[in-house]
Copies of this chain bind each other. A is one copy, B any other.
Amino acid sequence: MSGSTLGTLFCVTNFGESHGPAIGCVIDGCPPGMALTEADIQHDLDRRRPGTSRFVTQRNEPDAVEILSGVFEGRTTGTPIALLIRNQDQRSKDYGEIARQFRPGHADYAYWHKYGLRDPRGGGRSSARLTAPTVAAGAVAKKWLKEKYGTQLRACMTQLGKLPIVFESWEHVQHNPFFAPVADVQRFEDYMDQLRKTHDSCGARIRVQASGVPVGLGEPLYDKLDADIAKVMMGLNAVKGVEIGAGFASVAQRGSTHGDALSPQGFASNHAGGVLGGISSGQDIEVSIAIKPTSSILTPRPSIDIDGQPVEVVTKGRHDPCVGIRAAPIAEALLALVLMDHALRQRAQCGDVRQLPGSIPASFSA
């Protein structure tokens, strides 16, 4: 398969460019009979939408989604669900100079050399705007997972630039523009205001969690659940690192500490992050991702142009000073897409496996 389709059975094909007429996706393989309306999808799109606070890009896109197919009388038919989002607030004139220059740290250089040409308007295909169709598809997966298994997806910010964030409660996440799990976000606002003044950008760290995941998802040897999770997360714009469970901290752990003890009441800890041998264990899936600082900044940077000549690049246009701020709903969507795909794969091969003793009720999991 070419690179714009995700999934083996629940397949999402993404299309569009930042400043083209439209973006969207086709979801193929959705189980039939599920109630679905545009409103079910719009909710997550609105969480990801630009222009909702002064800390993100000021591009004003309603991101209104239209269902073009696959739903009849309010229910999925099992045929492809095409979702369309018209672009409305392009300002392509901002990109005149960028069309001939390569921003340090940006996809410009690589797209130019791979394809021999590129759509430079707003980053074209490499823009984070293309995460919107992913979020839309993820909303469909989330709905099915919730109705079928009670699966719940959540994400929050755990570090903003140099500021670590100590988790307080999931309740706070929806009440601040940073998706931070803390009550007081004043210091983040100050940090971002300061950053903007320096014409610079910063990174972020995001935690994603899925609870209520059935045991048994993941296809060893190569399509392990954590492998596919790592793929989609690293494939998200600007991500440079992915951890499952204890992640890099596990290097310094002893086996007697890392291995989560079991009892008839459940697991005593979750260093595994919900995945054992590449297969879900029924515990919460715990993922952490590192997002690099935005490469489109007003600070002048040394670079070259398409003729190989040295230039100094200053990126105008409207950009997120920290793309991690809007990443939480995207990361949830990506995790949902992986879980959905593997849920279908699991019942394809193992649909006859009977309920076994030795199972730990998910509700008892640590």
Contact = CB atoms under 8 A, between A and B. Distances in A.
Contacts of A307: 357-358
Contact of A79 (B75, B220, B304, B358): B220
Interface stretch (A39-47, A181-189, A237-245): A237-245
Contacts of A217: 114
Contact of A250 (B26, B224, B241, B245): B241
Interface in A255-278: 255-264, 268, 271-273, 275-278
Number of copies of chain A assembled together: 4
A345 interface: yes
Nearest to A297: B255
Nearest to A30: B349
B2 A302 contact: no
Contact of A259 (B103, B219, B245, B250): B103
B250 A293 contact: yes
Contacts of A203: 250-253, 258
Contacts of A264: 304, 308-310
Contact of A130 (B9, B221, B271, B356): B221
B201 A255 contact: yes
Interface string A198-232: 10111111000000000111111111101111111
Contact of A222 (B14, B263, B282, B297): B14
A96 interface: no
14 contacts: A1-B11, A1-B223, A4-B79, A15-B81, A21-B68, A31-B351, A105-B260, A107-B277, A114-B279, A202-B255, A235-B278, A240-B273, A241-B242, A255-B295
Contact of A348 (B17, B218, B273, B344): B344
A106 interface: yes
A265 to B, nearest CB: 9
Interface in A105-144: 105-119, 124-126, 130
Given A235-B226, A261-B303, A3 B221 contact: yes
A242 B252 contact: no
Contacts of A324: 251
A69 B85 CA distance: 12
Interface residues of A, number: 167
A119 B72 CA distance: 6
Contact of A359 (B8, B248, B308): B308
Nearest to A102: B262
A2 B6 contact: no
A305 interface: yes
A317 interface: no
A255 B222 contact: no
Contacts of A29: 2, 348-349
Contact of A357 (B204, B301, B306): B306
A116 B23 CA distance: 31
A221 B291 CA distance: 17
A254 interface: yes
A277 B110 contact: yes
B115 A252 contact: no
Given A15-B68, A246-B240, A24 B82 contact: yes
Contact of A276 (B105, B159, B348): B105
